[in-house]
A = this chain, B = another copy of it.
């Protein structure tokens, strides 16, 4: 049994597998619900939720959106383009920087979120049933720092360009 000193510790490895499995199963389930109830992909839902629930103004710049979701720029352009075409967001030049594009959720976008949320909640309640309220809080407390750590790390939306 060779001991590999560069190996990640077993506890983290198990957490990693559990995390990826749960997230994968969960994503699969909610994607189905979002498609059926609101004709939305998971990422479109994330973007709408970020604009509609996370932003006080309902607006954000493309770059900020990209950093939140961690996406290629072109992928984000594509998804926002779909939302735009569906009338769920609008795009306009950023007021302070004419290079930028500010994305704003529309009333229809907010309605769409309201449409899918009940069903979304039901799926979550059903699948996360083993997770008591206290457990859920514990998970959030443990994972939030990880999320912040990863978002602060090098690979952000602009990185692919800088890296050459």
- Residues of A with Cβ closer than 8 Å to B? 4, 6-9, 11-16, 18-29, 32, 46, 69-70, 117-118, 120-122, 124-131, 133-140, 142-151, 153, 155
Give the residue name and chain of the B residue nearest to A46 (CB).
Answer: B20
> Which of B27, B146, B155 is the one whose CB lies under 8 Å from A131?
B146
List 9 additional contacts besides A13-B121, A18-B144, A139-B139; criterion CB under 8 Å.
Answer: A8-B122, A15-B128, A16-B128, A19-B19, A19-B22, A19-B23, A19-B139, A19-B143, A127-B149
Give the residue name and chain of the B residue nearest to A25 (CB).
Answer: B150
Q: Are A127 and B146 in contact (CB under 8 A)?
A: yes
Q: Are B128 and A146 in contact (CB under 8 A)?
A: yes
How many copies of this chain sit in the oligomeric assembly? 2
Q: How far is the CB of A23 from chain B (nearest CB, A)?
A: 3
18 pairs from A and B in contact (CB 8 Å cutoff): A6-B121, A8-B121, A8-B125, A9-B133, A12-B136, A14-B137, A16-B124, A20-B46, A22-B143, A22-B150, A23-B27, A24-B69, A25-B147, A28-B70, A126-B153, A127-B146, A138-B142, A139-B143
Q: How far is the CB of A110 from chain B (nearest CB, A)?
A: 14
Q: How far is the CB of A88 from chain B (nearest CB, A)?
A: 20
Q: Are A145 and B128 in contact (CB under 8 A)?
A: no
Across-interface contacts of A148 in B (CB, < 8 A): 130
Q: Are A25 and B139 in contact (CB under 8 A)?
A: no
Give the residue name and chain of the B residue nearest to A28 (CB).
Answer: B70
